[in-house]
Structure 1
């Protein structure tokens, strides 16, 4: 990764900025929640084939059950995995 000379935001700084810029009526604490964006990221990585250890490393979870709560595969992804059980059998 190239060095841009820019400083990376901390999680707290990013959370405060997101809330401030999405707050309903300018009321603090009513904006979007940065934590919500971890769930779709974990789901997309899992659907792309990332295994549990990689999902844990990426999300910085220490327990697998915490990662499992963030992983919500789509109906299409579940159907695709299910089709692996009987390739070519369109009845499943």
Structure 2
């Protein structure tokens, strides 16, 4: 889901089942830096501006297995209930199973444990999925505007670090400048 949405790990881990549009393959997330909506008189409201992330077939196939018939609560949960001293908000506990939301730290540790080849701390990072997705989209020819829309970056210069085109990609775009009918 991180790869297909090119979303930030915090956004995806913060999803609730109620936030998912499974048929439309999309979800509303509270984005980085999202500000609370304001009323006419300047008073902050509880809700925030939401942005949409989109996924494709891979995530669509895996979500039902992950949800296991649950219809509400966090999408990503731990394998156990929170301890007696742990105080969590109602949004962070599945009301059906009483399992806690998967934290960023725990997700990072699980990913590292399952991808580390040379010992602990050498595995993948959660943010690498975002980098990879944007790099692959860029190399596939997605325009800067589409990359900005997919990643929800506001400034093009912040997106530049995610896109490192290969020599082949640069050669291919250079061929578009060839004189005559080379690109017809």
TM-score by length of 1: 0.67
Aligned mates of 1:16, 1:77 — CA distance in 2: 35
Structure 2 unaligned regions, length at least 5: 1-21, 24-62, 68-73, 77-101
Partner of 1:66: 158
SS at match of 2:127: helix
Deviation (angstroms), 1:17: 2.3
Which one of 73, 80, 85 corresponds to residue 172 of structure 2? 80
Deviation (angstroms), 1:53: 2.4
Aligned mates of 2:103, 2:139 — CA distance in 1: 25
Deviation (angstroms), 1:65: 1.1
State the Cα deviation string for residues 25-80 of structure 1 (Å, max 9, x = none). 4x4x4432121232221122122222222212322333211111110111111100
Is residue 20 of structure 1 aligned with residue 109 of structure 2? no
Structure 1 unaligned regions, length at least 5: none
Is this contact kept in 2: 1:42–1:55, CA < 8 A?
yes
Larger radius of gyration between Structure 1 and Structure 2: 2
Larger helix proportion of the pair: 1
List 4+ stretches of structure 1 deviating above 4 A.
none
Larger strand proportion of the pair: 2
Is residue 54 of structure 1 aligned with residue 146 of structure 2? yes
